[in-house]
Amino acid sequence: QVQLVESGGGLVQAGGSLRLSCAASGRTLSTYAVGWFRQAPGKEREFVSAISWSGGTIDYADSVKGRFTISRDNTKNTVYLQMNSLKPEDTAVYYCAARKLLARMAEAEYDYWGQGTQVTVSS
C-alpha cells in the first residue's frame, strides 16, 4: 500500500504561484509514476500532469503547459507540482495519484490516491 498526502494548497491571487507536494508513506515512491488531477466544483476530475518513476517521461494537460511544472525527489519520497501564472479557472481540489512505473493520463490507471488539497485562485 502507498499512502499519499497532498499539501501546499491555498488561496492565491490570479498571476500568483503555489507549489503542491505529494508525499508518500508506506512504500518508496521511487518505482511509481505519479499523476496530478484536479476537480473543480460541478465538473469531472481531469488530468493535470504526470511523471514516470524515473522522471524521464512527463506529460501535461494543454491547459497548464508552460505554467505548471512537475518534478520529483525520490530521496524525499515526494512529487511536486509548481504552479505559476495561476488563473481563476485553475481553482479546484488537486489530487495526486500513484501507479507502478509508467505515467498515464487516465485516472482509472492509478491505484493509489491522496485526499486532495484545495487551490483557490481569486480574480
28-52 tens-digit pLDDT: 899 999 999 999 999 999 999 999 9
- Residue 110: the pLDDT is 96
4-35 tens-digit pLDDT: 999 999 999 999 999 999 999 888 899 999 99
- Residue 26: the pLDDT is 85
Decide if 3 contacts 22 (C-beta within 8 A): no
Give the position of cell 508506506.
26
70-121 tens-digit pLDDT: 999 999 999 999 999 999 999 999 999 999 989 899 999 999 999 999 999 9
DSSP string, 42-88: TS--EEEEEE-TTS--EEE-TTTTTTEEEEEETTTTEEEEEE-S--G
Give the position of cell 492565491.
12
Quick one: average pLDDT of 46-70? Answer: 97
- CA–CA dist 42, 45 (Å, integer): 10
- Residue 120: the pLDDT is 98
